[in-house]
């Protein structure tokens, strides 16, 4: 094959293909992800971070960056945030599940780093605590019903009678993700309400399930309710209790999600 023939082959066959590849526009459908980052928990997932009784989870990749609960000790909370290379100033919204110190404890310390946020508090917080939060300059909201705090992220609004608590529901391409603080109103009740607020399949439920005083029969009943409600994955942690966590691990197998400080979960975001 001589040089002239090779040039002709290139011009006729290969050049249009190369040109098309070079001018191809991006499809505009690149996948986006929601990240859930555990900042405070009774268990350690990533070495170098510290565990303590309490819970906090950061939600990134949604319209707003949301901090859900703030652990117990402000100093330890900020240390974990720092080690995870999270800038407190990136947070837009803080939501507090309930008025227990292992969820509210780091709030004022956090607001000392960034008070340019909206804070959603449960109605059970004391007036003096609410005034302290307002005193930092943060905007305070106390929802009395379900509320969408940004596109695709809902709070259940206050639930329960004895200990009032709200949970967070995140819409993702995989289904709903429900995050609980301590689940005092009952984990199954919270899931049922979440389904009513965001009527789609539930991909994952994570957080404190508060099951340490339940009998084995009660725990089996709860796990079977999870199955009936179609919950694909479960990430029990914090106040759930070791025995209950083990039972979820056994029942869910590969769909059990190991939690702990430093755990980062990436889930495909809903498309806009
Ligand atoms: Fe708790
Ligand atoms: Fe609690």
Measured distance CA(187)–CA(30) in Å, rounded: 35
**CA–CA separation, 170 vs 177, rounded Å?**
5
From ligand 1's centre to the CA of 73, what distance in Å?
Answer: 13
**Nearest bound ligand to CA 207?**
1
The more confident residue out of 103 and 12 is 103
What pLDDT digit, counting tens, does each position of 208-256 carry?
Answer: 999 999 999 999 999 999 999 999 999 999 999 999 999 999 999 999 9
Q: How far is the CA of 142 from the centre of ligand 1 (A)?
A: 20
Query: Is residue 3 a part of any domain in this protein?
Result: no
Q: Which residues of 235-254 are buried (b: 16+ CB within 10 A; e: fewer)?
A: bbbbbbbeebbebbeebbee
Closest ligand (CA of 42)? 1
> Is the residue at 12 inside a domain?
no
pLDDT at site 16: 52
In which order are the strands placed within the sheet that holds 66-68? 139-141, 118-120, 93-95, 66-68, 56-60, 33-40, 264-268
From ligand 2's centre to the CA of 169, what distance in Å?
18
- The residue segments making up the domain with residue 50 are 30-268
pLDDT at 158 over 60: yes
The model's pTM is 0.90
Does some domain include residue 13?
no
Indicate the number of domains in the chain.
Answer: 1
Kindly report, residue by residue over 128-146, the tens digit of the pLDDT.
999 999 999 999 999 999 9
Question: HSE-up of 129 (CA within 13 Å, CB side)?
Answer: 19
Give the burial class of 184: count Cβ atoms within 10 A of its Cβ; 0-12 exposed, 13-18 middle, 19 or more buried: buried
Residue 195 belongs to a domain: yes
- Measured in Å, residue 45 CA sits from the centre of ligand 1 at 18
Q: Residue 27 above 90 pLDDT?
A: no
What per-residue string of b and e applies to 14-46 under the rule 16 or more CB within 10 Å gives b?
Answer: eeeeeeeeeeeeeeeeeeeebebbbbbbbbbbe
| Res. 19 pLDDT band, cuts 50 70 90 | low
Whether residue 257 is predicted with pLDDT greater than 80 in this model: the reply is: yes
Q: What is the pLDDT of residue 86?
A: 98
CA of 208 to the centre of ligand 2 (A): 9
Residue 91 within any structural domain of the chain? yes
Starting from the CA of residue 103, give the closest ligand: 1
| Phi, then psi, of 257 in degrees rounded to 5 | -110, 115
The whole-angstrom separation of Cα 34 and Cα 140 is: 25
Q: Which of 63, 132, 80 is nearest to 104 (CA)?
A: 132
Protein residues within 5 Å, CB atom, of ion ligand 1? 102, 182, 239
Does 8 map to a domain?
Answer: no
Instruction: Find the DSSP H helices in 42-106.
Output: 74-83, 101-104
Q: Which two tokens stand for residue 117?
A: 């946020």
Mean pLDDT over each residue of the chain, to the nearest integer: 93
**Span from the CA of 239 to the centroid of ligand 1 (angstroms):** 6
Proportion of the chain above pLDDT 70, given as a percent: 89
The whole-angstrom separation of Cα 229 and Cα 232 is 9
> Half-sphere exposure of residue 118, counting CA atoms within 13 Å on the CB side?
11
Whole-number Å distance, alpha carbon 250 to ligand 2 midpoint, is 25
> pLDDT digit string (tens) for 4-14?
655 555 545 55
State the CATH number of the domain containing residue 168.
3.60.15.10
Q: Residue 201, Cα to own-chain centre: how many angstroms?
A: 16
pLDDT above 50 (res 89): yes
Q: Quick one: what percent of the chain has pLDDT higher than 90?
A: 88
Q: Residue 198 pLDDT more than 70?
A: yes
């Amino acid at each position: 094959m001589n040089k002239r023939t090779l040039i002709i082959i290139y011009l006729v066959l290969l050049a249009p293909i190369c040109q098309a590849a070079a001018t191809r526009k991006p499809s505009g459908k690149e996948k986006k992800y929601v990240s859930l980052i555990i900042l405070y928990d009774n268990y350690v997932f990533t070495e170098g971070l510290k565990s303590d009784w309490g819970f906090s989870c950061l939600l990134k990749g949604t319209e707003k960056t949301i901090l859900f609960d703030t652990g117990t000790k402000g100093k330890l909370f900020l240390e974990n945030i720092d080690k995870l290379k999270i800038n407190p100033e990136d947070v837009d919204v803080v939501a507090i599940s309930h008025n227990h110190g292992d969820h509210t404890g780091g709030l004022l310390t956090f607001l000392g780093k960034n008070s340019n946020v909206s804070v959603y508090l449960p109605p059970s917080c004391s007036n003096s605590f609410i005034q302290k939060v307002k005193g930092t300059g943060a905007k305070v909201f106390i929802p009395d019903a379900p509320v969408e705090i940004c596109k695709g992220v809902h709070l259940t609004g206050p639930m329960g009678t004895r200990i009032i608590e709200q949970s967070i529901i995140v819409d993702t391409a995989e289904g709903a993700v429900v995050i609980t603080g301590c689940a005092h109103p009952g984990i199954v009740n919270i899931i049922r309400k979440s389904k009513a607020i965001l009527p789609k399949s539930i991909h994952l439920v994570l957080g404190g399930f508060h099951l340490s005083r339940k009998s084995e029969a009660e725990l089996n009943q709860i796990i079977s309710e999870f199955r009936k409600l179609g919950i694909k994955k479960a990430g029990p942690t914090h106040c759930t209790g070791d025995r209950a966590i083990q039972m979820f691990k056994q029942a869910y197998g590969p769909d059990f999600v190991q939690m702990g400080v430093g755990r980062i979960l990436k889930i495909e975001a809903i498309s806009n």
